[in-house]
Homo-oligomer: A and B are copies of this chain.
Amino acid sequence: MSVQTNQSLSVDCAVFGFDGRSLKVLLIERRDYNPETHLDRMKLPGAMIQENETLPRAASRVLAEATGLREIYLKQMEIFSDPGRVTGEELEWINRYHGIRTERVVTVGYYALVKLDRRMIAYTAEKRAQWVEVESIQHLAMDHKQILSTALGHLCREMLQSPVAFELLPRKFTIRQLQNLYAAVLGIEIDNRNFRKKILGSGFLIPTDEREKGVSHKPARYYTFDKTAYKRALKEKLRLGFINNWRY
């Protein structure tokens, strides 16, 4: 029995943002990209884990670098440990890029949610990073396409279970924006009138006095998310609906 000690451990993050219409993910252009090799040009942000660093810390570090933000909604998913996930040219690229010598890289997948505001877009634009519509992505470097698909699955499930949607929206948002976000991520159609009832009925959206301006229809009210009210409601409603509608 030989024990592997020279595999390296990395983190890769799928950073999601929502522009009001569709779900985007942050992609990085490889620094020493050479069109003559057959490597894909874009990848997810990631890094090797450093000495004395926990994985969540490594992920935070990657995200701070990629987005300029320290406080980010961040969640671990799974580990991608197939010995064949990075080989050949890709492995050489990694060793060259990180200045290491490894034969195997096991990576831990994270996904993160950020508010895609003007500041964010300006910051990432300077970093050879791009916000790309998730739907349109065909290939990515290494197995990053697979990591992205996994992340999307996790996001869907999480959206149905907890109020993570608000991590993707600006502080003030309209109910329609919230609805569009759910519809985009889950790929379903939602009736606006029922959505409004359900979401307002839950009591953790607090209305502001502001309304949309310059839209060619009745302007919608802006709301903010009340985390405290949510947590209160959470405790009261832990009735679990009994065996909780295990629908899927």
Contacts and interface: CB of A to CB of B under 8 A. Distances in A.
Interface in A70-115: 76, 78-79, 81-83, 98-100, 102, 106, 108
A32 interface: no
A182 B243 contact: yes
Contact of A3 (B81, B83, B100, B186): B100
Contacts of A244: 160-161, 245, 247
Contact of A245 (B55, B238, B241): B241
A194 to B, nearest CB: 7
B2 A5 contact: no
Contacts of A36: none
Contacts of A195: 242-243
A215 to B, nearest CB: 25
B246 A241 contact: no
Nearest to A99: B3
Nearest to A182: B243
B242 A247 contact: no
Interface stretch (A17-25, A45-53, A139-147): A45-53
Interface residues of A, number: 55
Interface string A214-234: 000000000000000000001
A97 to B, nearest CB: 11
Nearest to A237: B247
Interface stretch (A6-14, A127-135, A166-174): A6-14
Contacts of A4: 9, 48-53
A122 interface: no
A81 B106 contact: no
B247 A240 contact: yes
A161 B106 contact: no
A190 B9 CA distance: 45
A118 interface: no
Nearest to A186: B240
A240 to B, nearest CB: 6
Interface of A: 1-9, 48-56, 76, 78-79, 81-83, 98-100, 102, 106, 108, 160-163, 182, 186, 188, 190, 194-195, 198-199, 234, 237-248
12 contacts: A3-B51, A4-B48, A5-B5, A5-B102, A9-B106, A54-B81, A54-B82, A76-B79, A160-B246, A186-B240, A198-B242, A239-B247
